[in-house]
Amino acid sequence: MIKFLLWCILFVFCWPLALLALVAYPFVWLLLLPFRVIGIAVHGALELVAALIFLPARLLRAI
């Protein structure tokens, strides 16, 4: 909602720039999509490493 309100303010002050932003936003989103996928994969790998490191402590705590 905040992005939409900011876009409306930009549209009032400079409508050509607002229309350019409206057209360019999907292309920027598609360009950044691989970086998000890589970030999710790296986060998952780090969670796996943390789970393996803390596994002995969790096993000892369960006993």
pTM over 0.75, yes/no: no
Segments making up each domain of the chain, as ranges: 2-62
Under 8 Å between Cβ of 11 and 18 = yes
State the Cα–Cα distance between residues 4 and 45, nearest whole angstrom.
35
* CA–CA dist 35, 24 (Å, integer): 18
Q: Which comes out higher in pLDDT, residue 32 or 63?
A: 32
Predicted confidence (pLDDT) per residue in 5-23, tens digit: 999 999 999 999 999 999 9
17 token code pair? 């720039």
Q: For the chain, what percent of residues have pLDDT higher than 70?
A: 100
